[in-house]
Amino acid sequence: MGFAFSAKGEFFTPCEPQKTYVSGLSNQRCVQQRTPRFLFRRGGCCRSCRRCCNVQPLQRRLVSRLEEKRPTEEKSDAHGPNPLKSGSPLSFGTFLKSRFQEFRRFLAEPVRISVPKPLLIIVGVVGSIFVIAFVSYAPDWKTESKIREKVALFDFILTDIVHGYVDPVDTDQLFEAGVDGMLGSLDPYTQFEGNIAAREMQLKTSGRYGGVGLGIAQSILQPEETVVLNAFEGYAFDRGVRAGDVIVEVDGTPVRGMPLDKVTELLRGEPGTLVRVRLARETRAPDGSRRLFDVVLPRRLVTIHDVPLYGMIRSYDGVGYIRLQSFATNAGRELRAAIDNMVRTGRLKALVLDLRNNPGGLLDAAVETAEALVPKDSAIVSTKGRALGETVFMSDREPSLPADVRLVVLTNEQTASAAEIVAGAVQDLDRGVIVGTRTFGKGLVQNVEPLPYNTALKYTVGKYYTPSGRCIQSVNYKEGSALTAALPEAESGRPFLDPSGTLVPALPPANGAARYLSTKVPESERKTFRTLHGRIVRDGGGIEPDMESTVTKPSELELQLLEGGKFFFFANRYAAGISSLPEDFEVDDKLYKEFQRYVLEDASKWREHTRFEPGLKLFTSTFAEAGYKNAEKELEHLRETIVTELKQDFERHADAIRQRLEDAIRQRFEPESRRLSAALRYDKVLQDALRLLTEKQGEAYERLLQPAAETAQT
């Protein structure tokens, strides 16, 4: 029989119960609406249909129960009058007293209720869980109360400012500023993602979106113009769009002065539709006029490849090369496909995996990528966090790379996050050798939580550990305030430059004004661990290479030319005068001198745009206030000296500048895969790795995988 208790303990029977069974639970349905209901409203009305049901209240139950006991009570007539027998000459007080005594006896006797055993077991289990959860959650009551208090305060403050501030305010901007200020006090990776940012983050992690395959940006020289930075191979590039083209209209809508996100929305759309784009391309006309042309681009499901380049290196027998530039959903699948294609040739003896400038991505993608390289049943990475718990990710698939194929992984200071997971697994399991420079050192794990209104919250939930048990996080973050801020050296530098000459924001991503406290892990606090074969590795500072190979840092002139867009715009001018590039194209002396003249035409503006100028202006104003005229003159002389030094860099760093200029010009004629392949000719770190793999049948490679000889104890 189904049953339920009201809030005040009154017992009700449901109206004409009809049993149903769902997952082993005995349920009952309302006669009026046939809907499952256990509890009924006070007074006998069903909660669902609001109509009276066949209910026996407690009083009627009591009388019925006493009637069942009447034969026993008849026997008491010999010893005295029966208070319930009609016609007994009893006072009203005596009657009430007898009723009360019978009621007490009724309550003292157990009431037998038939309950199905499965329901009893389930109720017991659920009740136990509830009690455990209740007890475990009890300590958080104070915290929850505090949270509700702060949320209410934020609501009051935001409401008062929106309605009462002297000038109208942007509610969205005000809210995001408040949230960014809160999250910015934790670490640089905890961020609130608004509508556009959340969508872009989803595109980056999935690696797919409906669009035309263009990378666009605002022009450095004319910010109101939208220029093409990159036309993807297999998409817009195949339709004739090139880097340097200016977007004039999209489906007849002029885009000059339009925000970049709005232009992006016009270009993207439902796959299978078409969009007409009007472009302007530079010409050699004396008046500087541009050539206008229209291109009809099909919107497709654009896939951003994690592996943009792979293949066998011609001049080295049996050596393959794979560049892995990101860790989106398909990273592991693309890496396996590249390895399988090279293995099928039967010539693969060694592999170079290039993880330089790879900022990372999805944890699952990193695990799948490592599975293609390390033995089955190997531990790849583990994660730990206060709410995350501890999880160990194992390789449960056979690797694509044969065990007898030598492996070198290339890293640099911009190899981060998921890329470090792969490099750490390869190193700790002694599957290969790391060549290059120390990696960025990001050992934190973020979770992306979807929020209402198409927004998201990305926040740090734990740390990850390589198979040897080390955490390679190089910076310790601590909650700060608006008045305290400290940035580690790795985060206060200038934007770095990828091999294609593109200026890329420095890691980690900016999150407004940083208010978190951060300190680098001191060398003295770094602990030692052992790899599978006993080699010594350390935590707290990224992945250190087994063989260090460095490249010359970009000169001040290179940075000036890149930030000023000199390579980009000169390449536009040069490409306007020719129809194609020769196969053996290089920047010869004649072309290099032409580039110098182009740059020096605008040398007068260098004084205002060098990174030294802000400091010099501060000194100038300070000297002016003090009346130090001679000091001001010395600063002017210093400015001229800086410009002279920059000009001399054309000779001191000619090779590096020629390489960047060649790559920028190739971008106007060749797809990305050919351009990246051509750039490998100048890659010093790659050359070091190739020598390590091939000289004396890889003897040096094998030595690096052996543990260092232990110092004898005396």
Q: What is the distance between the alpha carbons of residues 651 and 654, in angstroms, rounded to a whole number?
A: 5
Q: What is the distance between the alpha carbons of residues 524 and 333, in angstroms, rounded to a whole number?
A: 40
Please provide the distance, in angstroms rounded to a whole number, between the alpha carbons at the two ends of the chain: 84
Long-range contacts of 4-11 (CB under 8 A, 24+ apart): 4/38, 4/39, 4/40, 6/39, 6/40, 6/42, 8/42, 10/42, 10/57, 10/58, 11/58, 11/61
CA distances from 276 to 251, 273, 446 (A): 5, 10, 39
* Per annotation, catalytic residue among 378, 382, 442, 549: 442
Q: What is the DSSP letter of 543?
A: P
| 500 a catalytic residue | no
> Residue with structure tokens 């049996």?
318
- Please enumerate in sequence order all residues whose Cβ is within 8 A of that of 592, keeping only pairs 6 or more positions apart, or say none: 654, 657, 658, 661
The DSSP bridge pattern shows strands 350-354 and 379-385 to be unpaired
> What are the two backbone dihedrals, phi and then psi, of residue 352, each rounded to the nearest 5 degrees?
-110, 120
Q: What is the DSSP letter of 534?
A: S
| 442 a catalytic residue | yes
CB 280 within 8 A of CB 291: yes
CB 419 within 8 A of CB 363: no
CA distances from 435 to 237, 303, 412, 659, 690 (A): 34, 30, 9, 22, 10
Sign of CA dihedral 122, 125, 127, 133: negative
> What are the two backbone dihedrals, phi and then psi, of residue 268, each rounded to the nearest 5 degrees?
-80, 160
Across 268-347, the runs of DSSP E, i.e. the strands, are: 274-282, 290-298, 300-303, 309-312, 319-323
* Per annotation, catalytic residue among 417, 468, 474, 518: 417
Q: Which residues participate in catalysis according to the annotation?
A: 417, 442
